[in-house]
Amino acid sequence: MTAAPPSPSGARDGSSWTSRLRRHRNLLAGLLLMLAVWGLYLPSVWYGFVYYDDVRILLDHPELYGQAHLSSDLKAIFGTCFPREEPLLLRDVTWALDSLVFGFGNAVGYHLGNVLLHGIVVALMFAFLLGTTRRYGFALAVSTAYLVLAIHTEPVVWIMGRKDILSTLFMLLALCAQTRRLTTERGPARSGWYVATLACFVCGLLSKISVLTFPFVLFLHAIFLPYLNGARPPDGTFRWGRNVTREIVLLVPGLAVSVLVYNWYRQTLTQMGIFDRGYTAHGLDHLWNLLMIDPLALWVYVQQTMFPWHLKVLYTWPALRLVYPLWQIIVSLATVAVAGGAGVWLFRQRKDMFFYFGAFFILMVPYLNLMYVGIWVAERYLYFPVFCLLALVLSLAVAILRRAQPVLRVGVLTVGSISAAINLFQTFSYQPAWRSGDTLWQYHLALPQPSPTAYANLATYYYAEATAQQGTPNMAVSMHKMTVVVDAGLAQFWPDHQQSPPPDTYFLFFLQSIVQEIKGEPEAALASLLTSDRLRPRSDSTNLNLARLYHKLAGTATDRKQRETYAHAARDRFAAYIALAYRSRPVPQEAQKELADLEAGCSVTNQPVDKADKKPSP
């Protein structure tokens, strides 16, 4: 037999390259996903602060993130600056590192950190799905779909989204570590991977408190892994036994950590007065509100995931009502029934998909307002849970493509392509809105049915501009913009002055009082502040401004009785401010001194005007 001629050098090289690509395709796929994310969100690195929590939580606290030495920041983060509104220790450490490298007031470092971490999250998601399902195409499809989602714009380009990204990073690391534990035969190695899983969970919990339900996701992942990786058929009988018992035991330490951290976090927020927001429904009334709103919020999330439109920070629907319309009651109850039925069917027939179904609802529990009513719908809440929705939708799409008629296949591919195109378009169009507080809130004012909060935040941004430009001609321009926005907001949401203003306009009245006081209209400013106080009682900021305004009016009043009334009101309002702002915390010396000065002012109001106006002799 004649020997075959040697293959050309080019063929050997091509075969070598192909073989290398195959060996390293997982690593290359992860790197390409990461690079795609960085390219998509690169413009946001040069965005600024948007004056929606990022200033109040970050920029107003140089004692936490802006000290000369990192050790001083760490001491404040872990020790001296307690209680505070968001004690997210690991999130705070990353901000301190950003500040150390780029400067405390430089937004570039915070934005760059978000973009880099988001790229790592997408690559880790691919690694987790690949290791769990052993299906390269499925893992790549879900990760790519996750990459293009427009709802990720908010948590990535908003500095405050760091907690969502960082917590997701640690949860994915925990899932990857648990996959290694469950697929490793050696006992010591399994113990090591369990400790790594628990450590990653704790890090995630210290990045965002909503991670407290994640141990149940780890439990589902452990008991359903054989169905996810194909070791058992999806419709096979669920095996109750030693493995389930072992995973229940391993679940206990994570739950114990969740309870401890939750109690500490709740106690801290209670000291800060965060839970005192005026919501009074309890018991069955509260459960009814949840039943009427949470199912509709789910439909908003599904729609904004698949076909996003009018993305925004402030969703005004669904909202609390005294009486809910019949259609809402029917839709909400039907949604609960359908979700329950789908869960039962998936557990029986598609246990691989049941993991994603159960994990989604477990991850969303902290956002259902079970214990504390805050925000009903926020795109950032979906940052991690949305991968479960994508896995469910793509699993369903794969099943249809395998068995359906050609026409139905074309329909599925068309819908998927349209969804991807809309998401990319919305990502590119929504991202520039986050350049600054001006662009973000102007964008929100242009949306249908804007929120009063959008007007208030835009006016606050202009006031911050005016404060920074104090003493320059530009200050008057910024103050004029602030006045126009406040007036426009009150005109839209309080058109009939014969009616009482809506409660959610309270901050517009607060800002109106600032404008009026700067214009030299203290009586009008007082009326606006009292309106704000009536609409939103027990606000520390309102009581502080009222105290100082009453003190100013007491100093200019010529009538002794009026002066006495103003002086006592100033003292009482400042005492209320201290009680609300500091609660069980030590009161700073400057606040104690201001209260003492107001007390002293009350003691001289009984004197005649000519004597009261004189300074007491030393």
Give me the DSSP letters along 494-550.
---TTSPPPGGGHHHHHHHHHHHHHTT-HHHHHHHHHHHHHHS-S-HHHHHHHHHHH
459 in the same domain as 427 = no
User: Is residue 84 helix, strand or coil?
Assistant: coil
In a domain, 5, yes or no: no
Angle formed by the axes of helices 187-205 and 214-228, nearest 10°: 140
Tokens of 215: 């141990």
In a domain, 1, yes or no: no
CA 540 to chain centre: 24
Q: Cβ distance 489 to 463 under 8 Å?
A: no
Q: How many other C-beta atoms can be found within 10 angstroms of the C-beta atom of residue 397?
A: 17
Tokens of 408: 């139905």
Q: Which of 467, 199, 153, 180 is nearest to 304 (CA)?
A: 153
Provide the pLDDT confidence category of residue 85 given band limits of 50, 70 and 90: confident
3-state DSSP helix/strand/coil percent for the chain, to nearest 5?
Answer: 75, 0, 25
Distance from C-alpha of 170 to C-alpha of 254, rounded to nearest angstrom = 14
In a domain, 548, yes or no: yes
**321-341: b or e for each residue (b if 16 or more CB lie within 10 Å)?**
eeebeeeeeeebeebeeeeee
Choose the final residue of a domain: 387, 414, 433: 433
495 in the same domain as 356 = no
**80-97: b or e for each residue (b if 16 or more CB lie within 10 Å)?**
eeebbebbbebbbbbbbe
125 in the same domain as 73 = yes
274 in the same domain as 210 = yes
**How much is the pTM?**
0.92
Instruction: Give the range of the structural domain holding residue 257, as residue numbers without chain letter.
Output: 24-433
Choose the final residue of a domain: 399, 433, 467: 433
Ramachandran category for residue 103: left, alpha or beta (phi over 0 → left; psi -120 to 50 → alpha): left
Distance from C-alpha of 142 to C-alpha of 132, rounded to nearest angstrom = 13
Distance from C-alpha of 63 to C-alpha of 46, rounded to nearest angstrom = 25
Distance from C-alpha of 87 to C-alpha of 268, rounded to nearest angstrom = 8
Ramachandran category for residue 616: left, alpha or beta (phi over 0 → left; psi -120 to 50 → alpha): beta
Choose the final residue of a domain: 383, 407, 433: 433
Q: Which of 140, 121, 229, 119 is nearest to 179 (CA)?
A: 229
448 in the same domain as 378 = no
Distance from C-alpha of 367 to C-alpha of 370, rounded to nearest angstrom = 8
444 in the same domain as 478 = yes
In a domain, 617, yes or no: no
**Residue 615 has what pLDDT?**
42
550 in the same domain as 408 = no
Which helix or strand (DSSP H or E) is residue 22 part of? helix 9-23
Distance from C-alpha of 535 to C-alpha of 461, rounded to nearest angstrom = 22
pLDDT digits (tens, 9 = 90+) for 432-485: 999 999 999 999 999 998 999 999 999 999 999 999 999 899 999 999 999 999
Tokens of 585: 């915390």
Residue with tokens 């993991």: 355
CA 588 to chain centre: 31
Tokens of 185: 């035969």
pLDDT of 195 > 70? The answer is: yes
Report the CATH number that the domain containing residue 523 is assigned in CATH: 1.25.40.10
396 in the same domain as 504 = no
Percent of the chain having pLDDT more than 70?
94
442 in the same domain as 357 = no
Q: What is the DSSP letter of 83?
A: S
pLDDT digits (tens, 9 = 90+) for 102-142: 999 999 999 999 999 999 999 999 999 999 999 999 999 99
Give the range among 160-169, 346-355, 396-405, 429-438 with minimum mean pLDDT. Answer: 396-405
475 in the same domain as 419 = no
pLDDT digits (tens, 9 = 90+) for 592-610: 999 999 999 887 655 554 4
Provide mean pLDDT across the span 55-71. 95
In a domain, 13, yes or no: no
Cα→Cα distances 113→39, 55, 83, 238, 413, Å: 14, 17, 26, 43, 35
| Number of folded domains that form the chain | 2
In a domain, 10, yes or no: no
Amino acid identity for residue 236 in this structure? G
Q: Cβ distance 136 to 184 under 8 Å?
A: no
In a domain, 3, yes or no: no
Q: How many other C-beta atoms can be found within 10 angstroms of the C-beta atom of residue 257?
A: 17
Q: Cβ distance 169 to 177 under 8 Å?
A: no
Q: Cβ distance 445 to 455 under 8 Å?
A: yes
In a domain, 2, yes or no: no
**Residue 403 has what pLDDT?**
83
Distance from C-alpha of 576 to C-alpha of 40, rounded to nearest angstrom = 49
416 in the same domain as 451 = no
pLDDT digits (tens, 9 = 90+) for 66-77: 999 999 999 999
Length of the chain, please? 618
Q: Cβ distance 602 to 586 under 8 Å?
A: no
For the chain, give me the number of helices (H) and strands (E)? 26, 0
Provide mean pLDDT across the span 261-277. 84
Tokens of 158: 């908003």
Percent of the chain having pLDDT more than 90?
82
Q: Cβ distance 74 to 100 under 8 Å?
A: no
Q: Cβ distance 153 to 162 under 8 Å?
A: no
Distance from C-alpha of 516 to C-alpha of 539, rounded to nearest angstrom = 20
448 in the same domain as 418 = no
**Residue 28 has what pLDDT?**
94
Distance from C-alpha of 424 to C-alpha of 149, rounded to nearest angstrom = 7
